[in-house]
Structure 1
Amino acid sequence: MTSLLKLHRLKLTALFLAANIGLLLHLAVGDLKATSEWVWLDILGEGGSALLSLVWIGLVLKSRPAGRVTNLLVLGLAGVFFSWWIDSLDEFIRMPDTVHWDHWLESVPMPIGLVLLTLGIYHWHREQLAISAQMEKRERLFREHRQFDKLTPLGDADYLRRQLELGLAEAATNNQPLSLVILDLDDFNGLNRRFGHGEGDHLLLALTQLLLLNLRRQDLLCRLAGDRFVVLLPNTGEAQARQLAEELREAVRHFAHKTRQHGERLKLQATVAVAMALQDDAESLLRRLNLALARAKPPRLAHSA
């Protein structure tokens, strides 16, 4: 709070000087009224309004950094405060009939202050809309981040289903093909038993980078489960998807991954399968993809899986 008020000390000083100059001018020209002449209802109404304006200024200065919006809000409220302040001085000081500038000081700052205050509220409104949009975006990213795989920097199965639903809707709207590629490492469980799960996790991390390097910018790679990966291929027909699947399979076969403990090169093989969207929803397309993978696996591996 203190640091924020320091940023606005010039505004506070100017407002304090203006209020005191108005008071001194009234004292220099007018005469103090007797207590019996005071109208308490007017004093409470006009003085209370001036006091509330000061409270609003304090709240704005406390909650906002310096800037255009803050300046407009403070200047607008300052004009409202000054008008009520000058108006309340009339309840204590009698001005000569020949003096008219007090009416100007009482009347002119109010509409100017209200115009400035309106502009400030308008820009504050726009500012809040922008902030809300950013917060909504961050919240969406946070929700999506919770759907990312804990080991690899990839979306998990739930994230894949969500993106697949969006992709299917977009493909139907634009009358474009959409395909999926699934890749499953052969005998990954055997590698885990032989070298340990830590080495298996390290292998999956390295494999993730390999697969990403072999995909196009528009493709989405997700980890479906364990050593099984799925690639969402927008605007891609079945023939092109099969070509990409074969390229991924070959990339895995030539992957020169070595264990961290002994530097032993692991010979990797992967089974791939493709499914192109027809009249599917996300779940039926994934079922067809898994069935295609089961048919593509060698009998021994299919039985062990």
Structure 2
Amino acid sequence: MTALSTVPALFKLHRLKFAGLLLIANLALLAHLWLGDSLPVSQWSWTDIAGEGGSALLVLVWIGLLLRGRPAGQVTTLLFLGLACLFFSLWIDTLDEVVELPFGTRWDKWLESGPMPVGFILMTLGIYHWHREQLAITAQMEKRERLFREYRLFDSLTPLCGAEYLRLQLQQALAQARDDRQPLSLAMLDIDDFSALNRAYGHAEGDRVLQAVSQLLVLNLRRQDLLCRLAGDRFVVLMPNTGEQQARVLATELREAVCHLAHRSSEHGERLPLSASVAVVMAQHDDPQTLLERLNLALARARQPVQARRA
């Protein structure tokens, strides 16, 4: 799927948000026209209309750009609600310039002034969480470019490193752990029934799921952890200075994050149910290949209940 084809698909996921905002704006217009009287054009303040109406239009453009460029999630919702409040306040302010309500009417002042501070608060929260997203993604990008810059070491689909990079880093991490006498753990995460998802929704949708899951996992890792895509729908997290018990807690959190991911299909916008199996091993006297083999065996045991339910 190309970047250009992704843009309308993202906006399609948010069309109900945009339609709901336009509906509320039109209801406000109808309420003003029903309860008030239209001012003659000679009494219009064109400066105020241009300033307030133009600002409302610009905020609406910002909302469109936001919804075209971001997937569904907490950050997108906060930014949308904040901008929607700003737009609504400016829209009500513009209506007051062309429609005169009966003397003593107060509800329009509440609608004009109330949403504005709420919008700024929501936008501040959204920008804060967006900033944290960018810091986490930047840290992961710096980590993957620190030692290796050859394209062959990076996964072609996700912004992660591949299996070869993992083995190289694992070899160094094992030596470092032995020298420092510190624990080293590995966690493996595998998406349940991923082949069924590919058959039901197509491989392009499966690729979108892998991209979304990889970004989600990056945002839930600590700074010292390294996330790589081992193969297919299987991810491995290298956890330096981490014992097995702590690694199991972190792996469980990653699994829960995948289960709660609100990923929606690009075609119809329905939410795709996702779940994952995880396994954890702590390095002992292993070489990289032996450690990965132990991790694969642990994952196979962890997947047995899932496979039994499927049967």
TM-score range, shorter chain: 0.5 to 0.7
Q: Which residue of 1 aligns with 2:207?
A: 201
From 281, 288, 298, the equivalent of 1:292 is 298
- Classify 1:177/1:283 alpha carbon distance in 2 versus 1 (closer, same or farther; 3 Å): same
The CA deviation string for residues 213-267 of structure 1, in whole angstroms up to 9 with x for no partner, is 0000110000000000000000000000000000001001111100011001011
Alpha carbons 1:246, 1:272 under 8 Å: kept: yes
Specify whether residues 229 and 302 from structure 1 end up closer, same or farther in structure 2 by C-alpha distance, changes over 3 A only.
Answer: farther
AA in 2 matched with 1:236: T
Q: Does 1:238 align with 2:244?
A: yes
The structural deviation recorded for 1:207 is 0.6
Q: Which residue of 2 aligns with 1:257?
A: 263
Amino acid at match of 2:149: F
Gaps of 5+ in 1: 1-137
Cα offsets for 1:62-115 (capped at 9, x unmatched): xxxxxxxxxxxxxxxxxxxxxxxxxxxxxxxxxxxxxxxxxxxxxxxxxxxxxx
Query: How far did 1:303 drift?
Result: 11
* Equivalent pair of 1:191/1:200 in contact (CA under 8 Å): yes
Q: What is the aligned-residue identity percentage? A: 63
Contact 1:294 1:302 in 2 (8 A): no
Check whether the contact 1:186–1:271 (CA below 8 A) recurs between aligned residues: yes
| Higher RCO (Cα < 8 Å, 6 or more apart) | 2
Structure 2 CA distance for aligned equivalents of residues 263 and 225 of structure 1: 27
User: Residues 97-176 of structure 1 correspond to what in structure 2 (within 5 A)?
Assistant: 141-143=148-150, 145-176=151-182
Deviation, 1:270, is 0.2
1:242 partner amino acid: R
Q: Distance in 1 between matches of 2:177 and 2:146?
A: 27
Tell me the amino acid that sits aligned with residue 159 of structure 1: Y
Q: Paired residue for 1:55?
A: none
Q: Which has the larger radius of gyration?
A: 1
Q: Give the letter aligned to residue 148 of structure 2.
A: L
Quote the offset at 1:146 in angstroms: 1.8
Q: How do residues 1-305 of structure 1 correspond to structure 2 at under 5 angstroms?
A: 141-143=148-150, 145-299=151-305, 301=307
Instruction: Tell me the CA shift for residue 153 of structure 1.
Output: 1.0
CA distance in 2, matches of 1:152, 1:187: 19
Q: Which letter does structure 2 place at the counterpart of 1:246? A: T
Q: Which runs of 5+ in 2 are unaligned?
A: 1-144
Provide the alpha-carbon RMSD of the alignment. 2.1
Q: In structure 2, what residue type is equivalent to 1:158? A: E
After TM superposition, the score normalised by the length of structure 2 is 0.51
Shift of 1:279: 0.6
Give the aligned partner of residue 30 of structure 2: none
Q: CA deviation at 1:300?
A: 5.8
Contact 1:186 1:301 in 2 (8 A): no
Distance 1:235 1:242 in 2: 14
Distance in 2 of aligned mates of 1:250 and 1:291: 22
TM-score (norm 1): 0.52
Q: Secondary structure at the match of 1:298?
A: helix
Residues 149, 223 of structure 1: 8 Å contact kept: yes
In structure 2, how many angstroms separate the alpha carbons of the residues matched to 1:169 and 1:280?
10
SS in 1 for 2:149: helix
